[in-house]
Copies of this chain bind each other. A is one copy, B any other.
Amino acid sequence: PRAKAPKACNLTEFVGTAIGNTIGMVIANVDPLLHAQMKLDKKYRSIGIVGARTGAGPHIFAADEAVKATNSEVVLIELPRDTEGGAGHGSLIIFGAADVSDARRAVEVMLGELDRTMGDVYGSPAGHLEFQYTARASYALNKAFGAPIGQAFGITVGAPAAIGVVLADTAAKAATIDACGFSSPANGTSFSNEVIFTFSGDSGAVRQAIHAARDVGKQLLGAMDPTPLVSTTTPYI
């Protein structure tokens, strides 16, 4: 679902909302009690907080752009089993910064990227497909997926998980890539019904692997349910 027009919210903590039932907020001075409970590094006086009911990959790739563009760091990435009854994850991502304006900027950049990173998510009542690509992975992708910093990096996601296995095989055969990881319902996901394959390599190879997997994924998920598989926003890869 597209983000609704944000209602007026006058709290200083509120930054904005975005697609996927996503909300972005900041805390200028984290209370010492909470600072301790969250085990935050002392150097972060401020945090930016983005959470979503639907979306993990789109949010992590968007967060990666935010850390590239701002003076902040990603201090926490957690993936609830959510998607509002679907097969996948929601997300909770926290940026740490010494200054609230940096935390706020990170949240703003991330919210602004989400329409793009939702572009290669394709859903139907039977499941969903997701593809993400970056020409240069940064710290959020490194933290979440072990992506090599500075390299081209991509992921293929299929739900139900069985489809994700075939997407991984298709990607691996389509181009010369290096595998980073393979996550399945009981290993590396939050019991989500997904297989996530992650890989780096030459920029052209990573994109080629994704294109091949996307083509196969649409045919397989399309065989399960007649709902047309259209981009959630606009394809970007």
Contacts and interface: CB of A to CB of B under 8 A. Distances in A.
Contact of A191 (B33, B191, B195, B226): B191
A52 B224 CA distance: 10
| A: contact size bracket | 35 or more
Contact of A193 (B37, B80, B163): B80
Contact of A177 (B24, B33, B49): B33
A49 to B, nearest CB: 5
Interface stretch (A66-74, A84-92, A132-140): A84-92
A-side interface mostly: mixed
Contacts of A177: 33
Contact of A90 (B76, B182, B193): B193
Contact of A53 (B34, B126, B189, B195): B126
A220 interface: yes
20 contacts: A4-B224, A4-B226, A11-B216, A17-B223, A27-B165, A32-B172, A33-B172, A33-B177, A34-B182, A36-B179, A37-B182, A49-B165, A50-B162, A53-B127, A53-B160, A78-B185, A78-B187, A80-B193, A92-B161, A191-B191
Given A92-B193, A190-B191, 8 more contacts: A17-B224, A23-B160, A23-B224, A34-B172, A38-B182, A78-B161, A82-B192, A90-B160
